Structure 1
């Protein structure tokens, strides 16, 4: 910029005016200082260059939804083993903690009393059978004699009553035999299911019976169940992907269930969801969900806490952007977008799950829009910026067939 005409005249007058008592050298120094001062004041303020920001595009990619929950393992069947008859325990046929098969003998109770009861019941049955046969013969004779007038109708009615009583005695005796046989069978306690047996609370010689409580417990091991809670929002989101908005275990066959143990090791077997609760818990806002997990090697045990990982094997289409672009304030998450005029715009966004260094965005931005990933602290909405694209290959963890899990 050139100084104005008034400034030039001022300099000329200053140069021409004599300065009393001052040397030529001092006059020159004063002149130089005055020129610098005037020129500096006369120039316009310099405009700073636009701030440079690094941007990355919002991309549309197929992905497999994945979510993680805290779950607890439980046995499908948990059976309390009790004595149904009273007697002294004769033997225990298992080792505590081992696997047993359905039908294996667990305990035996002294059966001498119950064998005697069965013998008495059979004897009564034989007596009742003989009495019934005799009553039947007398009744038939009476039917032959009544037309001849050899017996009266009253006598015939008595013969019929005796026959019916004998029939009833037969049924009673037969029931006694069945009851005695059942009681005798209860002296041998067998495993009702296959599974792992617990600690025994009774030893041979102990008097046990229906009031003795649990002798031991037996839990099924394979398969085992994982019980966990999903949020109401997750449930509603899952409905959006189901035909007819009906969510059933059958409709979720495409979802694989894997478990991560407390040491970080992923359990190798894959399970499936087989149950949803019929209501959402009003206190927690969650829905109880259960998955069935194969457990052929008995690695998993009931009561164990695990991380339940759900992954849909179907590929869905979604919009992804770098996690580094996301900021948050009182209005919620947002990103800064550079429009076609290189001006910063704020976009409030609704986010989904995170996949590695990228995050699923449900609404707020469009495919191909550049979002600021570096230089966020230096810019504000409405500012004009200079744009640099993110180098190819940097922070790129979205393959073409899905999103890599971080």
Structure 2
């Protein structure tokens, strides 16, 4: 009986060992397609705001300040009076210059009369040649004195005009360094500053690589690098708020800085409500107004290791392949692929941790995609 039981047990073990284990179920993955879509290139840089015009107001003549005609920090219009300097000394100088001119004109008139009389008398021998030469010299001297008197008068008028200091541009005035009663002059230094507000400029630097990437798409078209001025410029303030006005690039440096490898650029930003002020740091956002085309994949499909970025592609035989990719701009939840995949290919977006290159998988398309 024991022998029979032993034989039966041995037979069961033998049968169990000869049976093949059941096949493991195939891994199911969710895939999405590589799509060719239009996009507008977008990039971000750190920039600083500066005034288009920044004027240091100084006195051009010496004298005591008799008035300050502005409130510090207010908006000033071009031609507004800023300061007045005591003009009495310059009024007197102008009056003297006018008197000197009148005397010079009278002297000239007399010299001209004598010269003409001498021209009539010389042919008749009434005067000598030397006397005629003397009359000619006096006339020329009178003419020169007239020119000098006119110049002195003009100088006096200009100096008098400098006693009223006016705004050369429109903008916001700064703090005054001088008060009424102070003695000011050309050597006093800056009395105040005046900066233009609208438009305001955003100065930033672009790397050489970014500049080359920006003009790459234009190198085979009819447009040249100056078309980069078509790029829209928006600003993000330090608190994360987007400034509502849109500006344009109006300047690129004519050379790349050899030390930093960057290219200086500048954008003009409308500032009608004076919300922006020079010196602010902002994030400069550039977006091309022209549509380009590129291959895009979901950001969730992209992985990275020591070899770089890659995606897992499911081929027509449902086998998993690794594709190393070169990435471009990220737009929302999609990332542009510059190299490594082709339009329409299936890439894995879910189940990435369960598969390896070479495995065969079952595929489930993302909603909206057709089963293949």
1:290 and 2:258 matched: no
Query: Which secondary structure state, in structure 2, belongs to the residue aligned with residue 215 of structure 1?
Result: strand
Q: Deviations over 1:173-224 (max 9, x none)?
A: 1111111111111000000000000000000011111111100000000111
- Relative to structure 1, the CA distance from residue 43 to residue 82 in structure 2 (aligned partners, 3 Å threshold; closer, same or farther) is same
- Alpha carbons 2:54, 2:196 under 8 Å: kept: yes
- After TM superposition, list the pairs within 5 Å mapping 1:363-382 onto structure 2: 363-382=339-358
Aligned mates of 1:147, 1:384 — CA distance in 2: 127
Alignment match, 2:293? 317
1:202 and 2:178 matched: yes
Q: 1:150 aligns with which of 126, 147, 155?
A: 126
Task: Answer with 1 or 2: which has the greater Rg.
Answer: 1
1:279 and 2:255 matched: yes
Query: Which secondary structure state, in structure 2, belongs to the residue aligned with residue 168 of structure 1?
Result: helix
Query: Which secondary structure state, in structure 1, belongs to the residue aligned with residue 190 of structure 2?
Result: coil
1:121 and 2:90 matched: no
Alignment match, 1:247? 225
Alignment match, 2:64? 88
Aligned mates of 1:200, 1:348 — CA distance in 2: 63
Alignment match, 1:173? 149
- Alpha carbons 2:229, 2:250 under 8 Å: kept: no
Q: 1:231 aligns with which of 183, 196, 207?
A: 207
- After TM superposition, list the pairs within 5 Å mapping 1:72-111 onto structure 2: 72-111=48-87
**Structure 1 gap segments, 5+ residues each:** 1-14, 20-26, 394-406
Q: 2:135 aligns with which of 138, 159, 167?
A: 159
1:52 and 2:28 matched: yes
Aligned pairs, how many? 367
- Alpha carbons 1:239, 1:245 under 8 Å: kept: no
- Alpha carbons 1:97, 1:198 under 8 Å: kept: yes
Structure 2 length-normalised TM: 0.94
Query: Which secondary structure state, in structure 2, belongs to the residue aligned with residue 131 of structure 1?
Result: helix
Aligned mates of 2:235, 2:217 — CA distance in 1: 24
Shift of 1:347: 1.4
- Relative to structure 1, the CA distance from residue 205 to residue 32 in structure 2 (aligned partners, 3 Å threshold; closer, same or farther) is farther
Shift of 1:377: 2.3
Q: 1:132 aligns with which of 108, 122, 135?
A: 108
Alignment match, 1:10? none
